[in-house]
Amino acid sequence: MDQIKFVELRGDQSRTEKDWQAIRLREIMGYLNAGTVPADREAVFRDYYEQYALARWTWPENFTKLPDFRKELRLEFVIARGKPVHGQLQQIVLGLFSRIVNDEGGPYHPAARMNALLAIADLNAVESTNIREPPTPLPQAARILVDTLKTENFPDALSVAALVGLIRHAVLGIADQQMVTGELLPELIELASTKLPPSGRTLVGHQWLRARAIEVLGLLGLPGDQAQVGKLLIDIVGAKDEPLLVRRSAARALGMLDYQGITGMDPDRILAQLGQFALDACEAEMAELEREIQEGELPPGPGTRPGYPGYPGYPGYSPYAGAMEGYGYESSGYAGTYTDDTMPGMGPPDMPGYPYPGVRTQAKQTQPDRTLGNRRRLKSSINAVFFGLTSVDEFMWVPSNRPMDGVAVLIPDGPSKEKMQKLFERMQALLTLCDTKDLDKPTLRDRIKAEAEQLRAWVDAASQVSQAPGGVSDQT
């Protein structure tokens, strides 16, 4: 990577940074507020962005500032909303950043390409006017995200940005449903179901990408032809050879699919697979607690995982930084805080900086709750099962609050419904345990073990009547 000479768009060298900032304050902000650019100043407006404001995204000295640059650009679009200048600025951004993403005139640094794509993903056809009215994402941006995800020779940094951008568009709605069903859905299914990484990508990085692809599948809500998506998710949830990260995303995604009119999904197998995942998550956390007790050390904190494949320590490599602000959705909600849903080498998803791989983050010495990380990690998995069952995040749900959704709508009355109720109760008990503070590690380990024994009895009984106990079947 050090041998590559990346292109830097330096623009008009006769103007200093101070000169450009003066133009911004003296003219650009006025045009954004007024809503129009005088005809004789259009060249100045364009030069400001193409030669400085957007061009500086390619300058190495600015890579640590890229998340802040994205926030600044979003703010400028909000200021310009509903005015002719909004469209003018949008075309400038699309023009330059599309070239950077596609490496036209490059090579551009992957950090610049990735952040340019994230900025494109943020573009809106209609900006939000208040928090109750979400924006309308730009259809052209969705097209670029899908094309990027489908391009095989692009660096993984762009796949990351494309998936993060598609999460936003899936939340807000993608207008071109033909593109979704004909192009995006098959691409996501292929990525989600491919266990081994392609050449040049680490297994951990590939698992992170799979988890995000599954996240998008859930947000789209489409079960697929002959319930293809639903069956794939069920297979992944119960597969003991799959990482918890990927299984957790699959469990959560099950709570977002539209099951109206769906057939071909065995309710007993669904419950058995979800229960198996919950049990495996308990066993994994017990093993981690035992390791910590024996070794007497804290587990690695945020930012200590290996860097993302091929791009360790890329400054500006924080795709979640502000990516979902103001849209009523946080990807971190899918995992809780500081779980391995965090991209390898990164801190928490909303961290506005960039990763420092290999740097150990110690807990504050004054922090009394020594099991907080353990409980949060387990809770993220159990909450995913609960959400998959009910499509409800409030684990103290009672029928009078709101009806169940999620896979619960597929469970018929009778023995299957009774089985689901027992699993539901086990998940509530585990979530209550995960919210119990001031437990030392041995006590938490023993409490999880007691709950796991009850859950194991349920899983053993449920697996006896499921079609494919505890693993991936041939249904997909």
Peptide bond into 107 cis (omega under 30): yes
Separation CA 140–CA 121 (nearest Å): 9
Q: Which residues 6+ apart lie within 8 Å of 83 measured at CB?
A: 34, 35, 36
Q: Kindly tell me if the per-residue pLDDT of 29 is higher than 60.
A: yes
Q: Kindly tell me if the per-residue pLDDT of 353 is higher than 60.
A: no
- CA distances to 13, 45, 62, 112 from 10, rounded to whole Å, are 7, 17, 12, 14
Q: How confident is the model at residue 262, as a pLDDT?
A: 81
Can you tell me the mean pLDDT for 190-201?
A: 93
C-alpha 32 chain-centroid distance: 32
Can you tell me the mean pLDDT for 298-313?
A: 39
Give the three-state DSSP class for 236. Answer: helix
At 117-137, the pLDDT tens digits run: 999 999 999 998 887 889 999
Contact 369, 437 (CB under 8 A): yes
Q: Which residues 6+ apart lie within 8 Å of 116 measured at CB?
A: 57, 96, 97, 100, 101
Q: Kindly tell me if the per-residue pLDDT of 163 is higher than 70.
A: yes
Q: How confident is the model at residue 300, as a pLDDT?
A: 47
Q: Kindly tell me if the per-residue pLDDT of 348 is higher than 50.
A: no
Q: Kindly tell me if the per-residue pLDDT of 111 is higher than 60.
A: yes
Can you tell me the mean pLDDT for 193-221?
A: 94
Q: Kindly tell me if the per-residue pLDDT of 147 is higher than 70.
A: yes
Please name which of 160, 162, 119, 195 lies closest in space to residue 307, comparing C-alpha atoms.
160
Q: Tokens for 41, please give them.
A: 């100043």
Can you tell me the mean pLDDT for 216-244?
A: 93
Q: Kindly tell me if the per-residue pLDDT of 398 is higher than 80.
A: no
**Worst-scoring range by mean pLDDT, 219-233, 244-258, 346-360, 434-448?**
346-360
Q: Kindly tell me if the per-residue pLDDT of 362 is higher than 50.
A: no
Q: Kindly tell me if the per-residue pLDDT of 358 is higher than 90.
A: no
Q: How confident is the model at residue 341, as a pLDDT?
A: 52
Q: Tokens for 380, please give them.
A: 């993220």
Q: How confident is the model at residue 224, as a pLDDT?
A: 84
Can you tell me the mean pLDDT for 248-271?
A: 90
Cα pseudo-dihedral 134, 138, 139, 141, rounded to 10: -120
Separation CA 138–CA 136 (nearest Å): 7
Q: Kindly tell me if the per-residue pLDDT of 169 is higher than 70.
A: yes
Q: Kindly tell me if the per-residue pLDDT of 344 is higher than 70.
A: no
Q: How confident is the model at residue 350, as a pLDDT?
A: 32
At 86-109, the pLDDT tens digits run: 999 999 999 999 999 999 998 999
Q: How confident is the model at residue 156, as a pLDDT?
A: 92
Q: Kindly tell me if the per-residue pLDDT of 145 is higher than 50.
A: yes
Its pTM stands at 0.82
Can you tell me the mean pLDDT for 386-393?
A: 87
At 53-92, the pLDDT tens digits run: 999 999 999 999 999 999 999 999 999 999 999 999 999 9
Can you tell me the mean pLDDT for 207-227?
A: 93
Sign of CA dihedral 104, 105, 107, 110: negative
How many other CB atoms are there within 10 angstroms of residue 364's CB atom?
Answer: 6
pLDDT band at 1 (very low <50, low <70, confident <90, very high): very low
Contact 56, 116 (CB under 8 A): no
At 179-190, the pLDDT tens digits run: 999 999 999 999
HSE, CB side, 13 Å, CA atoms: give it for residue 415.
5
Cα pseudo-dihedral 64, 65, 68, 73, rounded to 10: -130
82: alpha, beta or left? (left if phi > 0; alpha if psi -120 to 50): left
Separation CA 92–CA 36 (nearest Å): 15
pLDDT band at 476 (very low <50, low <70, confident <90, very high): very low
Contact 314, 110 (CB under 8 A): yes
Separation CA 119–CA 75 (nearest Å): 12
